[in-house]
Amino acid sequence: MSDEHSTAGSYVHEGEEFERDMDYIPDRLTRAGGEPVDHRAGTGKESPADAPRWPVEAGRYRLAAAKACPWANRAIIVRRLLGLEDAIGLGLAGPTHDARSWTFDLDPGGKDPVLGIERLQEAYFARYPDYPKGITVPAIVEVESGQVVTNDFPWITHDFFFEWTDHHRDGAPNLWPEKTRDEMEDVMKRVFTEVNNGVYRCGFAGSQEAYESAYDRLWTALDWLEERLSTRRYLMGETITEADVRLFTTLARFDPVYHGHFKCNRAKLTEMPALWGYARDLFQTPGFGDTTDFEQIKRHYYYVHIDINPTQIVPTGPDVSVWSTPHHREELGGSPFGDGTPPA
């Protein structure tokens, strides 16, 4: 199956279930002189032991991302929460792409000002001239060589926390607290398989049977999250963790896109009290709402997925001002950054 956050094309295959291709460039950016910290990165999949290692080095790499893409949006959020802006540059592609690649059409002249390229495809081909797979965001690109290093999105944010610690800002939050780390891995895996990927399983189902199965799985997970978040402010308790980042990017897209475009329409996010309050709490936390662009999100999905929306008409609604209304989640206690501080 085609991997949605790569390039335009056919995503719905008649009679088939959607299956995300998780075979990414496995390289890791790790601290010199030590073994990398290895968990499951919230997917249940170990990093290959023989995956190439690149040294962590401020200024050497650039994060190529797009605010429209939920997988890239999480990398943008984590980079900001940890204060890695001075250590890792950020190149933002526009919300739409064609069958070849994401493009840097938001920049003057249509080129990334640091990498000097029009298409992210150029960085992939600089390392792999015959790269056969989708050109995905997020991706880490080495600035000097212009070559892609990795596009393995669960490990990118994992390593931002564990391997880039020397470059974290003072007061950076603990996104992987040791006391809840094992449980968090399990929570993130369920969020990934059943929610982050579950909405795509609904939207790209190739048969009624596949769609209904995907729909039931998604809402079983959302009901579980609604119950979990009715008694705790964040997924893992009193402070934000990477688990919250990963869930937030799907929730932010739920009413504008997934509810209608992907047929995940049992209820809107605004009709789920705990999840809606939780989502607004995060949106109003520095690092989340200020990295979310609802117009780019809508334009990406409704314009690129011509299988589902052949007219490419982008809806005007919903009203996003509701994201700034009071959430009252502080009544559950806790604080987003714990002993840390918000990003500037």
pLDDT: which is higher, 344 or 66: 66
State the Cα–Cα distance between residues 243 and 192, nearest whole angstrom: 10
200 an active-site residue?
yes
pLDDT of residue 17: 82
- Encode pLDDT of 241-269 as tens digits: 999 999 999 999 999 999 999 999 999 99
| Nearest residue to 71 via CA among 2, 5, 158 | 5
Contacts of 226 (CB under 8 A, 6+ apart): 272, 273, 274, 275
264 an active-site residue?
no
pLDDT of residue 205: 97
- Encode pLDDT of 117-170 as tens digits: 999 999 999 999 999 999 999 999 999 999 999 999 999 999 999 999 999 999
* Annotated active-site residue in 11, 24, 69, 124: 69
- Encode pLDDT of 77-87 as tens digits: 999 999 999 99
Contacts of 186 (CB under 8 A, 6+ apart): none
Q: Residue 91's beta-bridge partner residues?
A: 64
| Nearest residue to 294 via CA among 274, 275, 269 | 269
pLDDT of residue 33: 56
Candidate from 31-35, 66-70, 88-92, 191-195 with smallest mean pLDDT = 31-35
* Residue 1 pLDDT > 80: no
- Encode pLDDT of 103-124 as tens digits: 999 999 999 999 999 999 999 9
Domains, the chain, with CATH or none: 28-167 (3.40.30.10), 180-332 (1.20.1050.10)
* Residue 48 pLDDT > 90: no
* Residue 278 pLDDT > 50: yes
Q: How many CA atoms lie within 13 A of 243 on its CB side?
A: 28
* Annotated active-site residue in 24, 61, 124, 200: 200
Q: What is the pTM of this model?
A: 0.94
